[in-house]
Amino acid sequence: MHIDLKKEIKESGPGKAGLIILLLMVVIALLAPILAPYDPYQQSTASLLPPSWQHWLGMNHVGQDIWSQLLYGARTSLLVGFGVGIISTLLGTVFGVSAALVGGIYEKVVMRIVDAFIVIPMVIVVILISAYIRPSITTLILLLSFLSWQGGARIIRAQALSLKERANVTAAKSFGANHFYIAWRHIIPDLGPILLVDFIYSVRRAIFMEAGLAFLGISDPTVVSWGMMMRDALSFSYLSVWQWWLVPTGVALSLTIIGLTFIGHAAEPVIEPRLRGVGIA
C-alpha cells in the first residue's frame, strides 16, 4: 500500500477541516470541568430562562445551565465514541487477522458469524437489550463494541489475506515463525491505515447510536448527553427555547459526526485507491 494516510488527510481540505472539528471537540470534552461556568447537574428554580450574560444558552426545564450541559455532553459522546472505536477495532483486528492466517474451519466459522451480524439490524438489537438492562456508559460501550466489530473484521481479513502472500511473510514462515509472530510483526503494522479508517467509522457509528438511545430515553439518566438534551428540548418545541436549547445541541452533535465523516472520506483512498484525486478537494 503506497498511500500515505497522513499526507492523504493533510492534503484534503475537508480532511483538515474534519480534523480541526474533532480536535476542538476533544479539547472541549477534556476541559469541560474548567470551561463550564456551572455544574451541569445542579438544578435550580430558574427554569426555561432565555440566554443571558450569566447563562449563555439559558436554563433548561429543571433549571440547569444549558451551556455547561453542552460542554459536558461532548464528554459522553466522545467517551462512548472512542471507547467503542478502540474496542471494536481491536476485536475486528483479532478476528480478521486470525481468520486470514489460520484459515480452514476456524476462518469459515468466524466469517459466517461476521456475515450474520452484518445483516442483523444493530440499532434494534441495541434498543431491545437496553430496554431490559438500561446500560450504564461502560455497559453501553461494551454492548456497542460487541455488535459493531464485524464490518471492520471483513475488510481487515481481506487485506490480511493479500499481505499474507508477500515475500516477508514467506521468509518469516521459512524461519519457523508462528501465526502470532507473523501477525504481530508483519501483518498488523501494514494494516495501519485500514485500521484507522475502521476506527473512524466505528467512532462515528457509536456517537450516532449513543445519541439515538439517549434520545429514546434508554441511556443512563444520570449522565448528561446530547441525545438526552435534544429529547428534553423536543417536549418544549412549541416555545422559543429550541433556538438556544435544541439547535446548539443538535449542531454540536452533527458537527462532530460531520468532522468524522470528512476525516473518513479523506482517508478512504486507502481502502479504494481508484477514488484518489476525485474527493472534495
Partner 1 sequence: MLSKRNVITYAIAFVFILLLNFLLPRMIPGDPLMAIYGDEALIAMTPELKTNLVERFALDEPLWHQLGAYFVALFQGELGYSYYYNAPVLSVILGRLPWTLLLVGTSLILSTMLGIILGIESGWRRGSKTDRAMLAGLMSLNGFPDFFLGMLLLIAFGVTWGIFPLAGALTPYSGLSGLALLLDVLKHLFLPVAALTLAHLASGYLLTRNTMITVLKEPYMLTAKAKGLSQQVLKYRHAGRNSMLPVVTQTGIWVGRVVTGALFVELVFAYPGVGFLTYEALLARDYPIIQGVFLIVAISVLAVNFLVDLSYPKLDPRVSYAY
Q: Which positions touch partner 1 (CB under 8 A)?
A: 14, 112-113, 115-121, 123-125, 127-129, 131-133, 208, 211-212, 215-218, 230, 234, 237-238, 242, 246-247, 250, 253-255, 257-262, 265, 272, 274-275, 277-281
Half-sphere exposure of 30 (CA within 13 A, CB side): 6
Q: What is the CA radius of gyration of the chain?
A: 22
Which of residues 168 and 243 has its CB atom nearest to partner 1 in the complex? Answer: 243
Tell me which DSSP letter residue 244 carries: T
Smaller CB distance to partner 1: residue 112 or 185? 112
Buried b (16+ CB within 10 A) or exposed e, 233-254: beeeeeeebbebbbebbbebbe
Largest CA distance in the chain: 75
Min dist CB 270 to partner 1, Å, is 14
- Using alpha carbons, list the distances in angstroms from residue 79 to 29, 110, 197, 206: 9, 29, 18, 10
Shortest Å, Cβ 281 to partner 1: 6
**Calpha distance 89→83 (Å, rounded):** 10
Facing residues of 59 across strands?
A: 65
Compute the half-sphere exposure of residue 97: CA atoms within 13 Å on the CB side of its CA: 23
Residue whose CB is less far from partner 1, 199 or 226: 226
Is the CB of 96 or the CB of 187 nearer to partner 1?
Answer: 96
Compute the least distance from the CB of residue 101 to partner 1, in Å. Answer: 21
Nearer to partner 1, 11 or 190 (CB): 11
Q: Rank residues 102 and 116 by Cβ distance to partner 1 and give the closer one.
A: 116
Q: How far is the CB of 237 from partner 1 (least distance, A)?
A: 6
Looking up cell 450504564 gives 136
Beta-bridge partner residues of 117: none
